[in-house]
Amino acid sequence: MSHPFDPGYVTEPFLNLCADYPGAEIYSSDQFRSEWGPIFHRGRLDGSARVLVIGQDPAQHEAVIRRVLVGEAGRRVQGLLRKLGITRSYVFINAYLYSVYGSVKAKTRKNPSLIDYRNRWLNALLVEGNVEAVLALGQAADEAWRFWKETPAGQSVQIAYARVTHPTQPESASRGDKDKLAAATKKLLQNWNKALQAVSPSVNPPDVPTPLTLYGETWAEGDRVAIPEFDFPAGLPAWMHEHDGWARRVGSGDLAKRRNITITITKGVVT
């Protein structure tokens, strides 16, 4: 059986971007889990990407797999892309290379070295590229976009853009309250429908001709789409990209949780 995979950072400027990146001198340990290293992207780096998705920061699953948005949030965004008819021609990056720990201070958010490095990625993907639309997931991603648009390169690029609610914001905001979760999910899907209507005319032609079908008031069958195997590094076990919840930060305190990610093979793999 053939197993397609992402070959990684094999061409410039991505080779240099992955060799020359900011570390803990900018992403300090009081604001980021820099001890787990930078996570750069997911998707096409060969110039074929038609949609760019800007996320926020990597979580524990991303720290293991070394790709952006590979958990539940990624599956929901994969469904959003499919509604645009985009099944392969996309690329993801994050506003921050490292997982946010607590909150990011304004001084760090505006650090020229952090912004300049991120802008190098945006330049590589958007200047003289084939990207036709950009989706920013939440406030940090929107800020990253706005900082880039203030640059000469950003001003030279005219492209469809939409800021969308982060895909797991309803769970974060509702804190286990089912009524709040339902209301927040409805609001998110209304926001996503507006984004679809805003950018879909620019994504032409799509990978797969797809009539625009908007979301309902809650998640429906088909809204959550599996992340393709060709997005992952070679040799990744299937259970890592078919399921969620196999990686957890564990420990009796914040320091212990920073030092430990527990990986548990999902049920049914080993019998």
Q: Which stretch of DSSP H or E encloses residue 53?
A: strand 51-55
Same domain, 175 and 105: yes
In-domain check, residue 93 = yes
pLDDT at position 142 is: 98
pLDDT at position 241 is: 84
Q: CA-CA distance, 140 to 158, in Å (whole number)?
A: 21
**CA separation, residue 169 to residues 34, 110, 203, 232 (Å):** 24, 24, 26, 25
pLDDT along the chain (271 residues), means of 10: 94 97 95 97 97 97 96 96 98 98 95 98 95 97 98 97 97 93 98 98 95 97 95 94 87 93 91 76
What does the pLDDT look like over 136-165, one tens digit per residue?
999 999 999 999 999 999 999 999 999 999
Same domain, 56 and 117: yes
Same domain, 218 and 239: no
Nearest C-alpha neighbor of 93 from the set 163, 41, 23: 41
Q: Do 23 and 113 touch, CB atoms closer than 8 A?
A: no
Same domain, 64 and 183: yes
Same domain, 149 and 269: no
Query: Between the CA atoms of 108, 113, 117 and 118, what dihedral angle is there, to the nearest 10 degrees?
Result: 30
Same domain, 248 and 154: no
In-domain check, residue 4 = no
**CA separation, residue 227 to residues 15, 36, 163, 188, 224 (Å):** 24, 23, 22, 21, 9
Same domain, 63 and 155: yes
Whole-structure pTM value: 0.96
In-domain check, residue 8 = no
pLDDT at position 244 is: 80
CATH number for the domain harbouring residue 55:
3.40.470.10
pLDDT at position 248 is: 94
Nearest C-alpha neighbor of 17 from the set 92, 80, 78, 97: 97
In-domain check, residue 3 = no
- Among candidate residues 202, 223, 244, the one where a domain is terminated: 223
Same domain, 80 and 104: yes
Q: Do 248 and 262 touch, CB atoms closer than 8 A?
A: yes
In-domain check, residue 102 = yes
Residue ranges of alpha helices (H) inside the chain are 14-19, 60-65, 72-83, 106-109, 112-126, 139-149, 152-156, 169-174, 178-199, 238-242, 254-259
Q: CA-CA distance, 57 to 114, in Å (whole number)?
A: 13
Q: Do 85 and 203 touch, CB atoms closer than 8 A?
A: yes
pLDDT at position 1 is: 82
Query: Between the CA atoms of 217, 187, 68 and 40, what dihedral angle is there, to the nearest 10 degrees?
Result: 150
| Domain range for 30 | 14-223
In-domain check, residue 228 = no
pLDDT at position 239 is: 92
In-domain check, residue 2 = no
Q: CA-CA distance, 145 to 27, in Å (whole number)?
A: 19
Burial environment of residue 266 by CB neighbours within 10 A (0 to 12, 13 to 18, 19 or more): middle
Q: Do 260 and 251 touch, CB atoms closer than 8 A?
A: yes
Same domain, 192 and 96: yes
pLDDT at position 38 is: 98
Neighbour count for residue 45 (Cβ, 10 Å) = 21
Q: Do 62 and 22 touch, CB atoms closer than 8 A?
A: no
Q: CA-CA distance, 254 to 211, in Å (whole number)?
A: 47
pLDDT at position 270 is: 85
Same domain, 124 and 258: no
pLDDT at position 223 is: 97
Same domain, 97 and 160: yes
Same domain, 192 and 257: no
User: Sign of torsion, CA 71 77 82 87?
Assistant: negative
Q: Could you give the number of structural domains in the chain? A: 2
